[in-house]
Amino acid sequence: MKDLMDVPRAGAISSVVIVDDHPLYSDALGAAICLAFPGARLDKVQTLRAALDLMAEGLAPDLVMFDLKLPDVTGISGFQALRRVLPDTPILVISSLTSVQIVQALMEDGASGFLPKDASAPVLRHALAEIAAGRKYVHPSYCGNVCDEIANHPKLSELTPQQQKIMKLICAGMPNKQIAYELSLAEATVKAHITALLRRLGVRNRTQAAVLVENAQPATSIGAGEADARVFLSR
C-alpha cells in the first residue's frame, strides 16, 4: 500500500464512498484511500440503496468506488442510478466483470474509470492519480489482447497503424479528447480517424466497433464472455 502514498493530495479528494458488499475487499480499499488521501472522509456501504440514502442525507462525495455486483442491483442499472444522482462526481468502477461490452457501456455512461478486482496497489495508485487529475482510467489488461486481435481480424487488419491505436483507446472507453491527449493529436484529427475507421469497419458508431473487437477475441480473453456480457447488460 505504500505505493499509494504519492497520489496527488491537493485537496481535490476530501470525501470517498466505497460501495462493495465484500467486507474484506471494502476494508482493503478503505486502507488504500486513507493512504492516498489522508484526512478524507470515508464511508463504506454494501448496497446501492445505502449509497443513495447517504446522498439523500446530503453527502456529496468527491469520489465513489463502485462494485457492479451488489445484493440489490442487477446489470449496470445500479451504476446508472448512482450516475443520475451524482452526475458530476467521479465514479471508479471496480469489478470482476471486464467484458469489452460492459466496460464500454460504463465508460459511455459516464464512469471515470474501470479496474478489475485483482488490480495491484500500484495500478490502483495510478488510477486514483489519473481520476484525481480529472482524467479517465481503464486498466490496460482490459484491452491487452486488442492489438493482436486487430492484426489478425480480416476487417480490423485493414486499419492503419494510427487507426489501430485509436481503436484500442476506443475499446478502453476513452473520449476523443483523451485519445487526442494520449496520442498527441489534435481532437479534430482524432475525429477524422474515427470517421474513417468506422467507415472501413462498416459500423455506425464506437460501440459497434468495440463489439466487433470483442467478437474477434478468443473465448479465453479477460472477464465475462460476449454471451455473459449481453445477459448482464440486458438486466
pLDDT for 184-194, tens place per residue? 899 999 999 99
Decide if pLDDT at 2 tops 50: no
Measured between alpha carbons, how far is 80 from 160 in angstroms, rounded to an integer? 35
Q: 204 and 197 in contact (C-beta within 8 Å)?
A: no
Three-state SS for 102? helix
Question: CA 24 from chain center: how many Å?
Answer: 22
Q: Name the CA radius of gyration of the chain, rounded.
A: 18
This prediction has a pTM of: 0.64
Structural domains in the chain, CATH included, are: 2-141 (3.40.50.2300), 146-216 (1.10.10.10)
Q: What is the pLDDT of residues 115-172, one digit of tens each?
A: 888 888 888 888 898 898 888 887 766 654 455 555 556 677 778 888 888 888 887 7
Phi/psi of residue 130, nearest 5 degrees: -65, -45
Predicted confidence at residue 99, as pLDDT, reads 73
Give the helix/strand (H/E) hosting 29.
helix 23-36
Pairing of strands 91-95, 41-45: unpaired
What average pLDDT does the chain have?
80
pLDDT tens string 61-89: 999 999 988 999 877 889 999 999 999 99
Q: Is the pLDDT of residue 224 over 60?
A: no
Residues shown for the chain: 235
The sheet carrying 41-45 orders its strands as 41-45, 15-19, 63-66, 91-95, 113-116, 137-138
- With cut-offs at 50, 70 and 90, classify the pLDDT of residue 46: very high
Residues of the chain above pLDDT 70, percent: 79
Give pLDDT tens digits for 91-127: 999 988 767 678 878 888 889 989 888 888 888 888 8
Per-range mean pLDDT, top range of 32-41, 116-125, 141-150, 213-222: 32-41
